[in-house]
């Protein structure tokens, strides 16, 4: 397994939100965590990245136990995280955002910026613009771009389609596939479960902080129980 969060429990302060949960994926896969509101999807994701402490369980990345590492140290291991909100530097230009994304790197930033521009041509057109003035979809692309600046091999997306229109959402999902084609494994949390599962190699349905179903995206979509309870028929 490329990433294996085994039997993790976590939450805020002493309230356990996620209990005994397993999240895992192989190299190059797209995985999504879906489930109803309050199921602990984002909480599990934050714990995997180290933004929340684990009460129990371990996170293995590339067969290395990273449970005790700080988020910054996980970035150095090749993980990258796109938060749901406040995921760009609003007062800075698009290009400065990307530069800051690659802050820890010593050289080769220019090339990576150009790679990001190839992936998101709209950012190239707007590179001198202040990020605050971008549209919702463009902001999300910039947030992806910033996270890609560290040249991660594992990208985590927290609700990438939150607050954007259906058309933009479709476009974003296409971008996610593009990113994964470049050899980046992806784990995302999504409200729009159907669309997310469609492009996922593996899906995790969480309910009340526990694994409810774990299967390939296709199988989950065709599973009548999952459809009825979690995908709205």
Partner 1 sequence: MDFWNAITLITNYILIPGLSYGCQLALGALGVTLIYTVLRFSNFAHGEFMSFGAMVSILLMWYFQSLGISVYPLPTIIIVLPISIIITISFCLLIDKFCYSFYRKNNSQSVILLIVSIGVMFFSNGLIRLIIGPDDRNINDGERFLLKAKTFKKMFELNEGLAIKMSQSLTIIITLILVTFVFWFLNKTKTGKSMRAYSDNKDLSLLSGINPEKVVLIVWIITGMLACVAGTLYGLDKSYKPFTYLNLVLPIFASAIVGGVGNPIGAIIGGFVIAFSEIIITFAYRRFLGYLIPENFLPETLMQVLSTDYKIAVSFLILVIVLIIKPTGIYKGKLI
Residues near partner 1 (CB under 8 A): 71-72, 75-76, 81, 83, 86-92, 96, 99-104, 146, 149-150
Nearest approach in angstroms of CB 49 to partner 1 is: 9
DSSP readout, 49-91?
HTSS-EEEEEEEETTEE-TT--HHHHHHHTEEEE-SSS-S-TT
Nearest approach in angstroms of CB 146 to partner 1 is: 7
Those residues whose C-beta lies under 8 Å from the C-beta of residue 231, and which sit 6 or more positions away, are 193, 194, 197, 221
Q: Name the residue nearer to partner 1 (CB basis): 39 or 59.
A: 59
Nearest approach in angstroms of CB 107 to partner 1 is: 12
Q: Name the residue nearer to partner 1 (CB basis): 12 or 103.
A: 103
* Intra-chain end-to-end CA distance of the chain, in Å: 32
Q: Name the residue nearer to partner 1 (CB basis): 102 or 203.
A: 102
- Cα atoms in the Cβ-side hemisphere of radius 13 Å centred on 100: 15
Q: Token pair 């560290």 is at which residue?
A: 150
Q: Name the residue nearer to partner 1 (CB basis): 39 or 143.
A: 143
Q: Name the residue nearer to partner 1 (CB basis): 95 or 171.
A: 95
Nearest approach in angstroms of CB 169 to partner 1 is: 23
Torsion of CA 22, 28, 157, 221, to 10 degrees: -70
Query: Rounded to an integer, what distance in angstroms lies between the CA atom of residue 225 and that of residue 219?
Result: 11
Nearest approach in angstroms of CB 87 to partner 1 is: 7
Other residues' Cβ atoms within 10 Å of the Cβ of residue 6: 16
Query: Rounded to an integer, what distance in angstroms lies between the CA atom of residue 152 and that of residue 75?
Result: 8
């Amino acid at each position: 397994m490329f990433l294996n969060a085994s039997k993790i429990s976590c939450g805020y302060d002493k309230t356990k939100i996620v209990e005994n949960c397993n999240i895992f994926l192989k190299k190059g896969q797209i995985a999504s965590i879906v489930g109803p509101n309050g199921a602990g999807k984002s909480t599990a994701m934050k714990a995997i990245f180290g933004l929340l402490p684990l009460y129990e369980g371990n996170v293995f990345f590339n067969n290395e136990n990273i449970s005790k590492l700080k988020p910054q140290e996980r970035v150095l291991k090749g993980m990258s995280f796109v938060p749901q909100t406040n995921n760009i530097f609003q007062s800075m230009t698009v290009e400065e955002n990307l530069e800051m994304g690659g802050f820890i790197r010593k050289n080769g930033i220019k090339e990576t910026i150009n790679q990001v521009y190839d992936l998101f041509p709209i950012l190239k057109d707007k590179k001198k613009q202040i990020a605050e003035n971008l549209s919702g979809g463009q902001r999300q692309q910039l947030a992806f771009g910033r996270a890609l600046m560290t040249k991660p091999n594992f990208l985590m997306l927290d609700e990438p389609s939150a607050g954007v229109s259906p058309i933009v959402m479709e476009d974003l999902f296409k971008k996610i596939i593009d990113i994964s084609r470049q050899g980046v494994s992806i784990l995302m949390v999504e409200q729009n479960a159907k669309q997310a599962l469609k492009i996922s190699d593996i899906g995790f349905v969480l309910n009340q902080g526990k694994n409810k179903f774990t299967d390939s995206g296709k199988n989950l979509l065709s599973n009548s129980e999952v459809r009825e309870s979690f995908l709205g028929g």
